[in-house]
Structure 1
Amino acid sequence: MAIKSEIHFYGDGDCELVAENLLFRVHKNILVLSSAFFNGMFSAAQPSRDELITISQTGRTVARIELRDAAKDIEKLLSFLYPNTFFEISWEDVENLLRLADKYIVETLTSACVAFLKRSYQDEPLRSLKLAETYSIATVYKESSKLVLDGFEHFFYDSNNLDKLSKQTQKKLKVSRQQYVEGLNKIFCVTVDRRFPPLATDHLRTKFEECVKDICTFPYQSPSYSWMKLHQVDCTRHFECREELRRLKTFIHEKIIAIFGCKYEPLAWARSTFDTTEPCYPFIELRDDYDY
Structure 2
Amino acid sequence: MSQQNNQIHYYIDGDVLFIVEDTKFRVHKNIIGLASKMFNDMFTCATPTQSDSDNIPEVELEGESSKTFENLLSHIYPNTFIDINWVNIAEFLRFSEKYIIDSVLLSAMKFLEREFRKNPLYSLFLADRYHFKSIYKESSKLVLDKFPEYKRNEIFSQLSLYTRNCLIKKYTSYTDSLAKLANVDFTSGYLHCDECNKQSEHDLKINQEFIERSKQVQILPLPLPPTPPSGTRKILFNSIGYKTCDNQFMTFQLPRKFKKHFGVFEPLECKKHKKDPKFYLYIELGE
The TM-score range, normalised by the shorter chain, is: 0.7 to 0.9
CA–CA distance in structure 2, aligned partners of residues 172 and 31 of structure 1: 40
Match of 1:268? 269
Residue 49 of structure 2 is aligned to residue 52 of structure 1:
yes
Match of 1:66? 60
Please tell me the root mean square deviation across aligned C-alpha atoms, in Å.
2.2
3-state SS of 1:8 partner = strand
Match of 2:217? 215
- Give the number of equivalent residue pairs: 272
Displacement of 1:191 = 2.8
Displacement of 1:186 = 3.5
3-state SS of 1:90 partner = coil
CA–CA distance in structure 2, aligned partners of residues 204 and 277 of structure 1: 25
* C-alpha distance after superposition, 1:134-188 (max 9, x if no partner): 1111111111111111111111135x34322111111000110111112223322
Q: What does 1:95-244 align with in structure 2 at a 5 Å threshold? A: 95-158=90-153, 160-193=154-187, 197=198, 198-217=200-219, 218-219=222-223, 220-236=226-242, 239=243, 242=244, 244=245
CA–CA distance in structure 2, aligned partners of residues 64 and 100 of structure 1: 19
Match of 2:195? none
Displacement of 1:115 = 0.6
CA–CA distance in structure 2, aligned partners of residues 54 and 174 of structure 1: 57
Q: Which runs of 5 or more structure 1 residues have no equivalent in the other structure?
A: none
Amino acid at match of 1:259: H
Displacement of 1:269 = 8.3
Aligned mate of 1:257, from 252, 256, 259: 259
Displacement of 1:246 = 3.1
Contact between 1:235 and 1:248, CA under 8 Å: does it hold in 2? Answer: no
Amino acid at match of 1:162: F
Structure-1-length-normalised TM-score: 0.86
CA 1:277–1:200 in structure 2 vs 1: closer, same or farther (change >3 Å)? farther
Contact between 1:232 and 1:277, CA under 8 Å: does it hold in 2? Answer: no
Amino acid at match of 1:62: I
Aligned-residue identity in percent: 32
Match of 1:13? 14
Amino acid at match of 2:88: D
CA–CA distance in structure 2, aligned partners of residues 102 and 17 of structure 1: 18
